[in-house]
Every structure is written in structure tokens, then in C-alpha cells.
């Protein structure tokens, strides 16, 4: 089962991303990756989706309480199987990867240990980052966030996992990215160490606006931005193509088609040949007495005997082989 870890610090946009992605995959017109959620997963996605379509964002994922999501998937792009995604609380991710903690599992609180194990074992990791977390701030928080992101990526690379970076909330940063000269310049400037160690060497980076339409909402004394019902998403499809290819590449190769076993036919052919050789001639008396004599001639019955023995021997051996294969499969 491919395990996909969604990794990002608090508020990076992981829950919104998973919700929108799951809905997007369900509604795609192509059938190269079709998802069938487990009931609990279905409920989680639909609840968040309803929230997003009622002028609200989903709540923060509670620390120590990662959400385990599971789907069955089928499709020619990625084969078929089960997929597990963990929507991890950003707070826990921050603690795990803060200072190379992930190698010292025993020192972690129990709630984080299983999440760290999960990240370690994940086949595919999707790093979710909010660009604003990496823009320099007086308290130096941006440096800590970059260290966490890089340390988590280094860890995944060390374990030869597939991973990519998603810059969420692209709707908010679109003008900024254009003004800074494009995505690559932004990454090279604000995610310097991540860019140098990972993105520059080909790790994909996808800017995605999960919710591309928002509006202000008065909330008591303050005004917040909330999703506009019926919103769309931008930039998901290139990521989905990468995901489908990555899932396909981490699945074990399908077992080779059973090869026909030629030996029952070979043995039957040999027996038929021997039967034919030993019966192909017969001695008959020709002429009338006292001028009769014996002559050796071809016996056409030998052909029938050979064909008959071929089928009898082949049927018996094929039957034995079938029974042996059946028992072998059962064991």
C-alpha cells in the first residue's frame, strides 16, 4: 500500500489541500486514478468540503491527533491498491523535524513517535509550505521554518523516497511571484537552502491555489478572508500527474503472467512417438499357398494408437500439474 505523508508546519494548508485534492481526484473526467474512500475518510473529506463551501475554513488539526485517511484506488496510470494519507498536525511535524529529532524516536512523546515512524516509512512525501512563513521576519521564525523543511527533505532523500514541494495559497502570492521574477527566483531567494539542496536538482515544486476565490467576512470586531462557495482550484493537475506517476512507481511490479509449462505436452509427445515407432510396422502373409510369403508393411493403426496415447498421457500429466498448482496456491 503506498503511504503518502503530507508534511508541513502549522497552518501551511495541509487539511485544505487534502480535502480539495480528494474532491478533485473524484471529479476528474479521466479514469487513470480513481479513488474509493473508506467511510471515515469520506466523512472527513465531505465535512471539510461542506465547511469550505459555507464561508469557513476547516479547524486546525489537533496536536497529537493525526488523521488517518484511506482510499482504494484503481487506474491504468498507477495500477491498483490501497492508499493511506496522514493529515498530520503541523505542530507535531514542527517538533519532529525541528532539530534532527526524527532519528531519536525514543526521546519523543508517544504521540509523535508513531507520526515520525509514519514519515520514515512513507513511500511518497508531499511537503506543503506557505510562502509567507519563509519571508524574513524580525523574530527569525522564517529561518526555523526553513530548517524544518530542509531537515525533513534531507531525511526523506536519505531514505530514497519520492517527494515534492507544494507552495499553497498561490492565490495570495500570485502578484508577488510575478513581481519577484517567477517561481524559481522566489524559491532561490526565500527558500535558499531548500532550493540549493533539493529543488535545483530536480525535486518538483508546484504552486497551488486550493481555494482560488475568497471574500471578506466580518467576524465580531475583525474581518477575515473566507472561501467563496463554489470556488475553484488552480495548479492541481500537474501535481496529480506527478502523484499518479509516483504511486505507479512505488507499487510492486505485477506478478509475471503464468508461463505455459511445456513438460506434459513434451512427455506425451515422446510417449506417442515411442508407441508409434514400436507399432508402425506389421508382418502380413501375402500370396496364396504354396507361393505365400511374409512381408513387413506400414500399420496405419499405429498412428491412431500414437494419437490416443498422446492425449491420454497429456491429460493425466496436465491433471496432476493442475492439482499440484492448486495445492501450492493454497499453502
Q: Which residues bind ligand GTP (CB under 6 A)?
A: 8, 10-16, 57-58, 60-61, 89-90, 168-169, 171-172, 209-211, 214
User: Applying CB under 5 A, does 48 fall inside the site for Mg ion?
Assistant: no
Choice between 64 and 269, CB closer to ligand GTP: 64
User: Applying CB under 5 A, does 15 fall inside the site for Mg ion?
Assistant: yes
Give the shortest CB-30-to-Mg ion separation in angstroms: 29
Give the shortest CB-200-to-ligand GTP separation in angstroms: 26
- Which grid coordinates belong to 32? 487513470
Q: Which helix (H) or strand (E) holds 174?
A: helix 170-179
Give the shortest CB-15-to-Mg ion separation in angstroms: 3
In whole angstroms, what is the distance from residue 170 CA to residue 233 CA?
A: 10
Q: Which of 157, 48, 35, 139 is nearest to 84 (CA)?
A: 35
Give the shortest CB-99-to-ligand GTP separation in angstroms: 19
Which stretches of the chain are assigned E, i.e. beta strand?
Answer: 3-7, 34-37, 67-74, 81-87, 124-130, 162-168, 205-207, 214-219, 222-227, 281-286, 293-298
133: partner contacted, choices ligand GTP, Mg ion, none (Cβ within 5-8 A by kind)? none
Choice between 145 and 268, CB closer to ligand GTP: 145
Choice between 14 and 313, CB closer to ligand GTP: 14
Give the shortest CB-261-to-ligand GTP separation in angstroms: 55
DSSP class of residue 139 equals T
Contact (Cβ atoms closer than 8 angstroms) between residue 125 and residue 161: yes
Q: Which of 121, 201, 141 is nearest to 10 (CA)?
A: 141
34: partner contacted, choices ligand GTP, Mg ion, none (Cβ within 5-8 A by kind)? none
Can you give the binding site for Mg ion, defined by CB under 5 A?
14-15, 61
Amino acid at each position: 500500500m503506498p503511504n503518502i505523508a503530507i508534511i508541513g508546519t502549522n497552518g501551511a494548508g495541509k487539511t485544505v489541500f487534502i480535502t480539495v485534492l480528494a474532491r478533485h481526484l473524484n471529479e476528474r473526467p479521466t479514469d487513470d486514478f480513481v479513488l474509493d474512500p473508506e467511510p471515515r475518510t469520506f466523512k472527513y473529506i465531505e465535512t471539510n468540503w461542506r465547511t469550505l463551501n459555507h464561508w469557513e475554513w476547516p479547524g486546525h488539526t489537533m496536536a497529537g491527533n493525526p488523521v488517518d485517511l484511506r482510499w482504494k484506488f484503481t487506474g491504468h496510470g498507477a495500477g491498483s491498491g490501497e492508499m493511506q494519507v496522514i493529515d498530520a498536525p503541523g505542530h507535531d511535524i514542527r517538533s519532529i523535524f525541528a532539530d534532527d529529532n526524527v532519528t531519536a524516536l525514543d526521546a519523543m512523546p508517544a504521540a509523535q513517535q508513531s507520526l515520525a515512524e509514519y514519515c520514515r516509512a512513507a513511500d511518497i512525501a508531499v511537503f506543503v509550505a506557505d510562502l509567507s512563513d519563509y519571508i524574513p521576519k524580525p523574530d527569525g521564525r522564517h529561518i526555523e521554518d526553513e530548517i524544518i523543511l530542509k531537515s525533513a527533505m534531507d531525511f526523506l532523500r536519505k531514505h530514497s523516497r519520492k517527494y515534492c514541494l507544494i507552495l499553497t495559497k498561490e492565490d495570495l502570492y500570485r502578484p508577488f511571484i510575478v513581481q519577484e521574477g517567477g517561481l524559481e527566483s522566489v524559491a532561490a531567494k526565500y527558500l535558499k537552502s531548500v532550493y540549493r539542496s533539493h529543488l535545483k536538482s530536480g525535486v518538483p515544486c508546484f504552486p497551488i491555489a486550493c481555494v482560488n476565490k475568497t471574500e471578506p467576512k466580518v467576524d465580531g470586531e475583525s474581518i477575515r478572508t473566507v472561501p467563496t462557495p463554489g470556488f475553484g482550484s488552480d495548479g492541481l493537475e500537474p501535481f496529480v500527474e506527478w502523484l499518479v506517476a509516483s504511486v505507479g512507481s512505488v507499487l510492486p511490479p505485477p506478478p509475471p503472467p503464468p508461463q505455459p509449462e511445456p513438460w506434459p505436452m513434451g512427455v506425451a509427445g515422446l510417449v506417442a512417438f515411442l508407441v508409434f515407432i514400436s507399432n508402425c510396422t506389421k508382418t502380413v502373409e501375402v500370396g496364396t499357398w504354396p507361393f505365400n510369403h511374409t512381408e513387413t508393411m506400414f500399420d496405419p493403426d499405429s498412428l491412431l494408437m500414437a494419437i490416443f496415447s498422446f492425449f491420454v498421457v497429456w491429460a493425466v500429466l496436465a491433471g496432476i500439474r493442475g492439482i499440484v498448482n492448486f495445492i501450492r496456491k493454497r499453502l
